[in-house]
Chains A and B, each alone.
Chain A
Amino acid sequence: MNFTIEHLKKNFEKKEVLRDISFTFEEGKIYGLLGRNGAGKTTLFNCINKDIRADGGTFFFEENGTRRETIPEDIGYVLSTPTVPEFLTGREFLKFFMDINRKYIVGNHSTDEYFDYISIAEEDRDKLMKDYSHGMKNKMQMLVNFIARPKLLLLDEPLTSLDVVVAEEMKEILRSMKGERITIFSTHILDLAVDLCDEIVLLSHGILDTVEKSDLDSAEFKDKIISALREESHA
């Protein structure tokens, strides 16, 4: 399965935020979408999630040579600021999502097994989520997106404001979730992208550009990306 974007455009008045986005993402990989602040990462996600209308271009899934349009259940979108219904407890939220996603759920896991998986302590599971910390809300948001098993998982800077322990736990969850789906992870933190992602894609001046994935961990690679972002932003 591939997810392809062709000539996607989005302007805000005369400002071309997405100029000509074309790219093919492959199943089973985590893509690090790197861009400077204001480069259009969230706009790209909002267009893919159909929260805003694109001004041009298309995007679609391609499976066994057949193209099809995206439908809402294909996409999981995790926002940087976690939003969970605060009048529900963690367990009730999970139960609700398990109820309405019955047909997509593989295996017969209990709510407690899911909570164990994302390391939410027993005493917190039956608390109203309005009393959850930022990190706990973020984990819940990630978990329900995982349960729905979307084919495309969009993560908009989800680890930026988490403490190191939670951030490491989240990375582990993401790595374990990456099979059978495409994960696009937007960030402006280079180290995070290098650490977690299989491929790095640069969004700069309204276009997407891949960076050769050899030697992802080397210092030269980081320098290469930074200079690429610099050059393009001053082009």
Chain B
Amino acid sequence: MLDALKNNVKLEVAYTVNGIIYALKQIPLVKKILPSKLYSCSGLKIFALIVMLFIRFVEVFLYKVLYIFPLIFIPVSTFNEIHGEANSSSFFLHILFFMTLIGTFINSNLFEASRHRYYAVILMRMNARDHTIAHYSVYLVKLVVGFLAILMIFGGLCGVPIWMRLVLPFGIAGCKLLYNTWTLYRFSRKNGDYDLKKSGQKVIALVVLAAAAYIPCLIGFPLPSYVTIALFGIAAIGGVFGYVYMTRYNLYRPIYQQTLTDSAVDRKDLALKTRKQNVEKSISADTNITSNKEGFEFLNDLFVKRHKKLLWKTTMFISAGCLAVAAIMFVIILAFPDSRSTFKSVPLKGLPYLTFIMYFLNRGTGITQALFMNCDHSLLTYSVYKQRSNILKLFRIRLREIIKINIVPALIIGVSLAVMLALCGGSGDPLDYIILLISVPCISIFFSVHYLTIYYLLQPFNAGTEMKSGMYTFITSATYFACYMLMQCRFPTHIFGLITIIFSLLYCVIACLLVYRFAPKSFRIRN
């Protein structure tokens, strides 16, 4: 077992340190000063090792704080305010007990499909039992040490006696051990025909346990302290037997063969596959879909028709939502005449907020992602698709389509605001109506152009459909920030509306010119 422990540590150090060095190499300025033979540079390895130890150290304590503070300490403080502090210790132990049961179900570690386990057991063929016991023992030690420190502090603040605080970490470890022992036993009883990943029943159990954690405390009837501490004590003693059972168990390899599939290990890869599958699934299999168009119009027509659900469903949902909100507003305005003076200022003073709302309603990123995954990813490998005239032809067609999709909710919002203004007594200035009716669709067009332009100019995806452009991420974040800042602007309505319209139109012209100038070179699959 000592050998297994050493090998586990060596393996973890090796890939974590390399991972840290790889991450350092992704930082633009840092990568220039890093030596080319990075992974054999001992100084860098030592630095990464220190970073790793620091991260592990922080993890042991920080995660527990992030769990105990919001889920136990804050609720206990609230219940103390309601029912007085006499039951503080009972509240704490009651919630901790049920939360421990929840944690046992969702975070048992033993069956977690981790990359580390995949490397060790599947790729390097370590003895599955030795690996498991070594790895799990370290996990238990970290668990007990972490909880001991954190429960000492938060338990103390809630008045839990010190001897109880000393028992609790062992009780928590015991719960996990007992649950794992039970699962291992079931697995062997059913000769491996036991689905370790099934989650249906778990969800129900978790909801019941969460209710059991908080509702009795809310009504002032937590389990008495001596009951919960006795349960923790029993769990701690049972855990010892569980540990012995685990050390003698010999079906770890079949378990890992069930849980450690390639896709489950690489989470990034899994997320990518899921995203790709979702986009692929969105292709309609309706054989009646055809098109009478030619060339790029034909391609676009079929793309839109076969991805109708993906492209239009959310937009229709958003539009229906906007209509519903507008209808409610109209009813309130008509039913309660007093409210009109309040609502009258909303359409005109709300324009800066509308930019932010339109930012969220715009579906530019989702659409460009679908365009890449299901269309450009393959067609960009054909030279004819990359010809200047063809890139620009398709850009124009797509711009038209994206504007069409996004403008539906914008028109609903624009018209609704104008109607709202009229219902609230109207405005003497017809320019107000014109600005509302034009500026909202203009903002929508701006976002449509913006996302398609940065897609064509930066094309952020590589052949593996991963996003690989820092600049793209920066620009999308900057867009968010700019929209957020606009909410703070206090311009007169007319000025803001006019600026919005002029800026949007000007941006469209500049963006299209940039695409015409640079897209034939930039619209490529990223290497």
Residues of A at the B interface (CB closer than 8 Å) are 13-14, 46, 49, 51-52, 71-77, 79, 83-88, 92, 95-97, 99-101, 126, 128, 130, 144-145, 148, 150
Contacts and interface: CB of A to CB of B under 8 A. Distances in A.
Given A72-B384, A85-B374, A86-B378, A130 B283 contact: yes
B312 interface: no
Contacts of A46: 527
Contacts, number: 74
B310 to A, nearest CB: 10
Contacts of A95: 298
Shortest beta-carbon contacts, A-B, top 7:
A83-B378, A99-B295, A72-B383, A87-B306, A87-B283, A72-B386, A85-B378
B262 interface: no
B482 to A, nearest CB: 32
A38 to B, nearest CB: 16
Interface string B31-63: 000001000000000000000000000000000
Given A13-B36, A86-B378, A99 B383 contact: no
B387 A87 contact: no
A52 B463 CA distance: 13
B374 A87 contact: yes
Given A71-B387, A76-B383, 20 more contacts: A46-B527, A51-B524, A51-B525, A51-B527, A74-B383, A77-B382, A84-B378, A85-B374, A86-B280, A86-B283, A87-B302, A88-B302, A92-B291, A97-B382, A99-B294, A100-B295, A101-B384, A126-B287, A148-B383, A150-B383
A92 B299 CA distance: 8
B contact residues, range: 20 to 34
B296 interface: yes
Contacts of A85: 299, 374-375, 378-379
Interface string B295-323: 11011001100110000000000000000
A83 B379 CA distance: 7
Contacts of B298: 92, 95-96, 99
A141 to B, nearest CB: 8
Interface of B: 36, 280, 283, 285, 287, 291, 294-296, 298-299, 302-303, 306-307, 374-375, 377-379, 381-384, 386-387, 390, 524-525, 527
Contacts of B387: 71-73
Nearest to A51: B524
Nearest to B527: A52
Contacts of A77: 381-383
B283 A96 contact: no
A87 B311 CA distance: 14
A21 B303 CA distance: 42
A182 to B, nearest CB: 14
A128 B378 contact: no
Contacts of A145: 382
Contact of B381 (A71, A79, A88): A79
Contacts of A75: 383
A49 B294 CA distance: 27
Most buried by B among A84, A86, A130: A86
B347 to A, nearest CB: 41
A126 B295 CA distance: 18
A92 to B, nearest CB: 6
B253 to A, nearest CB: 31
Contacts of B377: 83
A145 B383 CA distance: 9
Given A83-B377, A87-B306, A128 B283 contact: yes
B366 to A, nearest CB: 16
A96 B299 contact: yes
B378 A100 contact: no
A187 B306 CA distance: 37
